[in-house]
Structure 1
Amino acid sequence: MNMRMAAALCGAALLFATASHSAPKSLVKIQKISKIQAAKIASLGYDVVSIKDGYAEAVLDKAEAAALSGKGYSLKTLIADLDKYVEQMKGTQNKTDAYYNYAKVETVLGDWAKKYSEICRLESIGKSCENNDIWALKISDNPQKNEQEPAVLLMGAHHSREWPSIEVPMAVAEKLLTNYSENPEIKRLVDTREIWIVPVVNPDGVIYSMEKSKFWRKNRRKNSDGTFGVDLNRNYGYQWGDVGSSNSGYSDTYHGPHAFSEPESIAIKKLA
């Protein structure tokens, strides 16, 4: 597909962390460290979710916490068991049904493609590891044609636990579609660009996160060492295997056996 793609990864990260099948995870404060030290810890594959002046916060199981303590780091547990914490939060702001799930995204995109067919079309740009469609909605004044126009790509859910990242591209798509005929500025944007919306890059992970393990981050690839999942955001070719990723399948930042090893990242590569 020949197009000039300005890629924008929209989304806000939920303070969720990946849990393994058996080891409970805790939210831990790593105290009295510099930002450089925090970045080094993250580069080793630890799930560092926040870096501040003088400390960092990470999601660790007992073995990971013990390993960092053994290296002389001072740790303070903020939330001892994140699974239990989320269960206790049910009925408040962390209800799963407050967010788009994969099935709802699929349904809503299909409805939009029918209702606004003059300015959008829906296509599957590939299949995930578990054979779920990776849906892309193209919004343009001539959606069936590949025009030589600037293109924009909005994506969500590279990391499956980041449910709010699905909301952003869906909200943008809805705004463009429902206001096209009434808002001159939106009409101008749609008429002069090819806008691609991929709300769920990682469908398998999102389904698994919402139905089985809320803290799951990676896709659902079965790795050769018996572990599951590749961090799709670290599976692209640019600086693959660099700082901030891991070569261990046990890590939440596992970059995969090689760049573009995953069908999900390949689908985005082909689209872009």
Structure 2
Amino acid sequence: MGSLRRGITAAAGLLLLASAVPAGAAQHDGDRGLYAVRGTDKADRTAIARSGVDVWGVRGDTLTFAADSAQAQALRGQGFELEKVGDVDALLAERNPDVRTAVDEFPPGDEGYHTYTELTEVLEQAVADHADIASLSSVGDSYEGRALHLIKISDNVAQDEDEPEVLFTCNQHAREHLTTEMCLRIVERFTDEYGSDPTVTELVNTREIYVIPTVNPDGAEYDIEGGRYKGWRKNRQGSGTDLNRNWGYQWGCCGGSSGSPSSETYRGPSAFSAPETAAVKAFVDSRVVGGVQQIKAHLDFHSYSELVLWPYGYTYDDSNETMSPEEAERFREVGEALAASNGYTPQQSSDLYITDGSINDWMWAEHGILSLTFEMYPSGGGGLDGFYPPDERIEPETERNDEAVEILLTEAGNQG
């Protein structure tokens, strides 16, 4: 069936569903399967995402997602051809050991990943070893009281210099542990290689670099509790909020998030209702000095699908009253340059599917920050391994973004 017919059928089916259940409501019955739909376009992917399934990845025109039998049946009724490629519980069981381990520990074989305790130790050691260029603080606390670590790297780290600032954020979604390793790579590279690598040294001398390695430490710790992966996405506030649907710009506007607390894309009862997003917002707001936002560029890391994404996510339009055609073109040019450096696919966020309440949309609309997202390894065919790649992939997949990080830091100097 052609994409146009699928889109029309899906839209009609969604209107019927909307009258019966809240958009995005999760009606899990304990038999969640992993499904693929091939030959999709952005309208198809948006329709599928709005049905309340848990989108895992996109590779080309193939969308992979988890859904229970009721959701799968509803989508088939809308004309989508679903291919079942696995059972979620069985896939988790394959990755999990038969015996439980310590609460704060990754499953055996994946010890290369950092728990929150280990992350804290690494950051503290980085500052101890490089106190002249690195400082550690926090932007606030998570729902369960964990510090949301913030590390600053600059040649005069104790001073607020008149230099372009760049922010890197990771791990908004709990199960995306590779992203925390990406932020650690940035921290370690721009401290350990300062003074020996000319590019690193120049960037540290001319920029103020901020890194928040985990925006969602509660969810990340829960996801590995007992040394067993759970596939958890949200924070731990109540039934959980999807942090990347909780940002204030166009929050809940456009069917790109859910109002149902059971949904994987639950946007929360109000914008910034999650303490984690509220804390990061307060930090970004605080960087307005003398009426000028000091943060010029921002990169948020997710997994998976190997994509470079830029605003807007809430609309298919590439420009509007808050983004001129020239500004949209700059996003495209920067996104394509970043993708050329790491082999990812560049596209506007809504070309994937519609989302609302995202960090990139808010960063740009509210502060004019050149804000993009990386969806990291693998390219979209990873199934559960997309969220839990073996720890042997940490080094090559984080190093893969070294040049992209340099490009964004350099581009921040071109931001007026």
What is the TM-score of this pair, normalised by structure 2?
A: 0.55
2:234 to 215, 218, 239: 218
Aligned-partner residue type, residue 260 of structure 1? F
- Contact 1:45 1:254 (C-alpha < 8 Å) held by counterparts: no
- Contact 2:55 2:64 (C-alpha < 8 Å) held by counterparts: yes
Matched, 1:262 2:278: no
1:148 to 152, 155, 162: 162
Query: 1:49 matched to which residue of 2?
Result: 56
Matched, 1:30 2:30: no
Aligned-partner residue type, residue 244 of structure 1? G
CA distance in 2, matches of 1:248, 1:87: 28
1:87 to 84, 88, 93: 93
Q: 1:48: how far off?
A: 2.3
Query: 2:377 matched to which residue of 1?
Result: none
Relative to total residues, which structure has the larger helix share, 1 or 2?
2
CA distance in 1, matches of 2:117, 2:214: 11
Q: 1:133: how far off?
A: 0.9
2:249 to 235, 238, 242: 238
CA distance in 2, matches of 1:79, 1:214: 16
- Contact 1:86 1:94 (C-alpha < 8 Å) held by counterparts: no
Aligned-partner residue type, residue 233 of structure 2? R
Query: 1:62 matched to which residue of 2?
Result: 69
Matched, 1:105 2:119: yes
Q: 1:31: how far off?
A: 4.7
- Contact 2:96 2:229 (C-alpha < 8 Å) held by counterparts: no
Secondary structure at the counterpart of residue 209 of structure 2: strand
Deviations 1:115-165 (A, max 9, x none): 111101000211111111100110011222222211111111000011111
What is the TM-score of this pair, normalised by structure 1?
A: 0.83
Instruction: Please tell me the root mean square deviation across aligned C-alpha atoms, in Å.
Output: 2.4
Note closer, same or farther for the CA distance 1:25–1:106 as it changes in structure 2 (3 Å cut): farther
Q: 1:229: how far off?
A: 0.6
Q: 1:182: how far off?
A: 1.2
Structure 2: which 5+ residue stretches go unaligned? Answer: 1-25, 98-106, 285-416
Query: 2:175 matched to which residue of 1?
Result: 161
Q: How many residues align?
A: 247
Aligned-partner residue type, residue 104 of structure 1? E
Note closer, same or farther for the CA distance 1:164–1:131 as it changes in structure 2 (3 Å cut): same
CA distance in 1, matches of 2:73, 2:133: 55
Question: Larger relative contact order (C-alpha < 8 A, sep ≥ 6)?
Answer: 1
Deviations 1:215-256 (A, max 9, x none): 00000111xxxxx11110111112211342111111111111
- Contact 1:38 1:51 (C-alpha < 8 Å) held by counterparts: no
CA distance in 1, matches of 2:281, 2:183: 18
- The farther-off stretch of 235-244 and 149-158 is 235-244
Matched, 1:73 2:80: yes
Aligned-partner residue type, residue 235 of structure 1? N
